[in-house]
């Protein structure tokens, strides 16, 4: 075969291929190619977080032992204020600044107790267990004697819930009787002479 003839046929075969490629190259008017991108799915399972909820505890008034007659008669007062207060020996209770002073008073049975009002306002000294209910005007005072031993809570009925107090009545000391032993002299009997048979002693 002539070399020129081979080159001519090769050129004829190549031409359509070039023309085909040229036909695909447009001026940008073709449809854009859309590429689907898959979004990865999160397969992790969320972990639930538990939040501990504290349950508030109701605040209750502090009392010790069996409620006294005063606490039962006036339950709305702040009786917990008396907890842990040491009794103060006295024969006078003062009403000042809408408070009883001392807060816990101590007297012996049979001793007179005086309650004095130093405030401008009127107050009461109300002791349910002792049947005491006295109104005390400003600058005035009242007195009473407690024979019964025990613990007695009292209030001012005009000024709840803070004006309250406690009276501790202790037994009075009994005088000690000392007996003195008296030595009684012992009489010594003197023997009486007895005469013998001859009439002599």
Query: How confident is the chain (201 residues) per 10-residue block, as mean pLDDT?
Result: 50 47 48 52 57 47 71 97 97 98 98 98 98 98 96 98 98 77 66 65 58
Torsion angles phi and psi, residue 89, rounded to 5: -60, 130
Q: Tell me the CA distances in angstroms from 116 to 92, 121, 137, 186, one per residue in order.
A: 7, 12, 9, 65
**Could you report the per-residue pLDDT of 83-130, keeping only the tens digit for each?**
999 999 999 999 999 999 999 999 999 999 999 999 999 999 999 999
pLDDT for the residue 180 = 65
pLDDT for the residue 38 = 58
pLDDT for the residue 66 = 87
Is residue 152 within 8 A of residue 68, CB to CB? The reply is yes
pLDDT for the residue 201 = 58
pLDDT for the residue 175 = 76
Residues paired with residue 117 on neighbouring β-strands, in sequence order: 95
Alpha-carbon distance of 25 to 13, in angstroms, equals 20
pLDDT for the residue 62 = 42
Is residue 142 within 8 A of residue 136, CB to CB? The reply is yes
Whether pTM > 0.85 for this model: the answer is no
pLDDT for the residue 9 = 52
In this structure, how many other beta carbons lie within 10 angstroms of the beta carbon of residue 161? 14
């Amino acid at each position: 075969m002539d070399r020129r003839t081979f080159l001519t046929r090769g050129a004829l075969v190549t031409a359509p291929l070039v023309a085909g490629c040229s036909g695909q190259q447009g001026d940008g008017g073709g449809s854009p190619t859309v590429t689907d991108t898959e979004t990865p799915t999160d397969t992790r399972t969320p972990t639930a977080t538990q939040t501990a909820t504290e349950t508030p505890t109701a605040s209750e008034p502090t009392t010790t032992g069996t409620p006294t007659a005063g606490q039962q008669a006036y339950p709305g007062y702040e009786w917990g204020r008396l907890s842990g207060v040491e009794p103060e020996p006295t024969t006078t209770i003062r009403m000042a600044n809408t408070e009883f002073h001392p807060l816990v008073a101590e007297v012996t049975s049979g001793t007179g107790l005086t309650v004095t009002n130093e405030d401008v306002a009127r107050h009461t000294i109300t002791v349910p267990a002792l049947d005491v209910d006295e109104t005390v005007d400003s600058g005035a005072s009242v007195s009473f004697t407690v024979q019964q031993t025990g613990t007695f809570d009292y209030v001012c009925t005009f000024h709840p819930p803070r004006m309250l107090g406690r009276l501790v009545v202790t037994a009075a000391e009994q005088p000690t009787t000392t007996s003195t032993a008296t030595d009684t002299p012992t009489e010594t009997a003197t023997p009486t002479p007895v005469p013998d048979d001859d009439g002599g002693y």
